[in-house]
Amino acid sequence: AKRRLESIKKNKQRLKDALSKLPAAPGAPLPYRILQSAGSPLVDAASIAFQNELQLRRLVEIENQLAMNRQMAQDVQPIAIPSLPGEVARAVLQSGAESAEVIEQLLKDLPDEVLEDDEAVSAVLADIDSGRDVIRNSRQFDRQNLLPRFSAPVKRTRRKTKTDKNMSKALRLANERFRKKNGSLRKGASQSKIMKYAHRLLRKM
């Protein structure tokens, strides 16, 4: 029994660590949060923004009512606990990581049969990691996808002239004189001497 409790405690901590690394749910817009916290009208009834405020307040009331209805439905019907590892992981991911309280409640709701099974918990963690990898590998936030794509103009190459051809020939002759067959410099030769000799040959062509 002691080993079973230790296994459950260890797997709970593994799940908690994995869930705490998930991105938090996006926060509500600032006007929405202000209207939720305010008890009295923020603007005068004669102002232009009065109608917008009324609509936002109505939205708050509707969402509060929907939340109450969901809470009442949960109180009446028992929560169905998934038993398969994949279903557990999907339930965890769909719930989101809005707060530490949500994570704690999820871990409390999971049955001990799932938590004491190391293979099932490992499958859940693998499912969570694979979901994170899908987002990471989608490259939707890659720098190349976020920045606009500009097509760089193709630089036109210069047409080869007679001087270029003569310079190539002069360099070939200079290298034959100052280099050995294996490509190494002869004794007393340098790259500077090769270039000077090539320019001297070029002037004679």
Per residue in 178-187, pLDDT (tens digit) is: 998 888 888 8
Has residue 74 been placed in a domain?
A: yes
Residue type, 161: T
**More confident site: 177 or 18:** 177
Beta bridge partners of 198: none
Whether residue 64 is found in the same domain as residue 121: yes
The span from the CA of 73 to the CA of 65, in Å, is: 12
The span from the CA of 136 to the CA of 133, in Å, is: 5
Please report the pLDDT score of residue 46 as a whole number: 47
The whole-model pTM stands at 0.29
User: Domain range for residue 97?
Assistant: 2-142
Residue type, 106: L
Whether residue 109 is found in the same domain as residue 186: no
**More confident site: 14 or 192:** 192
How many distinct structural domains can be found in the chain? 2
Whether residue 102 is found in the same domain as residue 194: no
Whether residue 99 is found in the same domain as residue 187: no
**Domain's final residue, options 92, 114, 142:** 142
Please report the pLDDT score of residue 114 as a whole number: 65
Has residue 17 been placed in a domain?
A: yes
Whether residue 55 is found in the same domain as residue 108: yes
**Domain's final residue, options 108, 142, 176:** 142
Has residue 60 been placed in a domain?
A: yes
pLDDT at 11 over 60: yes
pLDDT at 22 over 80: no
Whether residue 132 is found in the same domain as residue 195: no
Q: How far apart are the first and last CA of the chain?
A: 99
Has residue 103 been placed in a domain?
A: yes
Per residue in 139-177, pLDDT (tens digit) is: 655 656 655 555 556 677 778 888 888 999 999 999 999
pLDDT at 80 over 60: no
